[in-house]
Amino acid sequence: MKINRRFSANCLLLAFFVTLQTLSSVQAQKRDSEVYKFPENNYTETRSVIRIPDIDGYKTLKCDFHSHTFFSDGHVSPVARVNEAWNDGLDAIAITDHIEYRPHKEYVVADFNKSNELAVAHGNNIGFIVIKGAEITRKKPIGHLNALFIENANKLEVKDPVDAIKEAVSQGAFILWNHPGWPDDSTTMYDIHKKLIKDKLIHGVELCNGFNWYPRVMTWVKETGMTVTANTDIHHLTGTAYGDGAKRTMTLVFAKERTEEAIKEALFAGRTLALFQGYVAGKEQYIKSLIKASLDVRVINAEKGLIEVTNLSDLQFVLKHGKYNLNVVLPGKAVRMTVKQGVEVEFSNCVISENDRLKMKLW
């Protein structure tokens, strides 16, 4: 019995040294006197994890429905744009190169579907959702509109912009009204938009485009039922524009599952929130659910109203209570504050209308 135990121990020890020698040999091939490599420090295949909780039985998907590549006026390839979105921690991106504006066409010779084809193929390779899109690019009053979930972008190259929109809708597209306050800093809904919305030829609108926020859009959303979104409209690199992926402008989509079809269904149903520059905006019911899932409240002294609020998400929440009290609950942090039970707190960075911020009870 002792011999068997000793034999087993010797075998394990021998296996350990063989493994160690093998690893040393492999390492020596990577790091010798002429070439010393650092493959473990390459973050190409490392993805940021943005902690935003699921709510109401839906999956919370982080999406960007407005981006450009060098197939229009962007400065990166479709593959690079997809890699960037994956690295930043998104769940889906739409490639929406311009139809009418292609400043690089002398050097990048291809039809309007090519950027989508390259992006979708790469997305499939790495398990990332890429939505086929295109930007119908006209001057005001109609402005710019993204057609998402299209089948053939080539068919959108027509003289009349309304015909282009109708063609996209015939392909099953979700039509998104882009940056309604651009380029003249005037957030205006023209008669053409009212008609298109009434005829169900515009389905959503950008509350925030990149670093530009249009508060009046919240009134339009309430009046018309359009779906609220926030997108980067990125042309360069998000790393240089935003730094941290969690700070990237994005649309939160509450989808039944993590698929392109589920995202499309959620957009048409209006189950979204806009996330930008530390703000969350959209329907009150979804913001309340998001807050409840993100914040954990521990009562320290009920009589005094002393509580500890812990933020389990990568969102931040600005809480205003009383006349002068203000607390910022940062991601992954806890704040001790005094709020009596049943007292409503204003979440100053949670926008539910053009002029209103969300108010709710913490406990």
Give residue-wise pLDDT tens across range 128-163.
999 999 999 999 999 999 999 999 999 999 999 999
Q: Quote the pLDDT of residue 35.
A: 86
Task: Please list the residues that pair with 282 across neighbouring strands.
Answer: 273
Q: Quote the pLDDT of residue 243.
A: 86
Check residue 35 and give left, alpha or beta (phi > 0: left; psi -120 to 50: alpha): beta
- Amino acid found at 73: D
CA 239/CA 187 separation, integer angstroms: 29
Tokens of 337: 């504050």
Q: Quote the pLDDT of residue 61.
A: 98
291 sits in which H/E element? helix 284-294
Backbone angles phi, psi at 169, to 5 degrees: -65, -35
pTM: 0.89
**Would you call the peptide bond into 180 cis, given omega within 30 degrees of 0 as the criterion?**
no
For 54, 60, 143, 263, the CA distances from 256, given in Å and listed in that order, are 10, 9, 32, 8
Q: Quote the pLDDT of residue 16.
A: 46
Q: 251 near 229, Cβ under 8 Å?
A: yes
Residues 345-354: b if buried by 16+ CB within 10 A, e if exposed: bbbbbbbbee
Q: List, as one string, the DSSP characters of 7-68.
A: HHHHHHHHHHHHHHHHHHHHHHHHB-SS-B--GGG--TT---------BTTBEEEEEE--B-
Q: What is the DSSP letter of 103?
A: T
- Note the helical H segments in 225-283: 238-242, 260-269
Rounded CA Rg of the chain: 25
- Amino acid found at 89: G
Q: Quote the pLDDT of residue 123.
A: 98
Q: 106 near 128, Cβ under 8 Å?
A: no
Which parts of the chain register pLDDT below 70? 1-32
| Dihedral sign for Cα atoms in the order 54, 56, 59, 63 | negative
Closest among 146, 116, 110 to 130, alpha carbons compared:
116
Q: 132 near 112, Cβ under 8 Å?
A: no
